[in-house]
Amino acid sequence: MVEIERKFLVNSAAFKELAYAEKRIKQGYLSSVPERTVRVRIKDNRGFLTIKGASSASGMSRFEWEKEIAILEAESLLLLCEKGIIDKTRYEVNFGGHLFEIDVFYGLNDGLVVAEIELQSELEHFEKPLWLGKEVTNDARYYNAYLSNNPFGSW
């Protein structure tokens, strides 16, 4: 139940040619405090409830629990969320034996493109595609919970 993840800015749209899946995501936060976030997500036509704990000192690891919920429940819970619903398209790309999830944001976060890779350990090596830019793993501004309250467009 521990998620190990690294985040990077994306420096070109070349990843779209490699994507094998594309999903529209809307998500909001019932709690966006760094010690515990509670997220409601609609991914295509499926609902999810996710609880995440505080990040490790490196920013790479944290507790994560997720459960699929009925789409009608997710839609109702989104209405209870804090202001700042996140709207994005997620592209999935396999590269060098790893899955990269690239989020292209809309609305007040328009212009932001972030890639995430989940790893088995913080020390796991992976091949970096050319479209992968600066690492922002330990920069809390790039957490979706932060972006919901402090949109990229206002930085």
Known catalytic residues are 29
Strand partners, 120: none
Instruction: Note every long-range contact of 82-85, with CB atoms under 8 Å and residues 24 or more positions apart, other chains counting.
Output: 82/28, 82/29, 82/30, 82/31, 82/32, 82/148, 82/149, 83/148, 83/149, 84/28, 84/29, 84/108, 84/147, 84/148, 84/149, 84/151, 85/26, 85/27, 85/28, 85/148
Alpha helices (H) along the chain: 71-78, 144-149
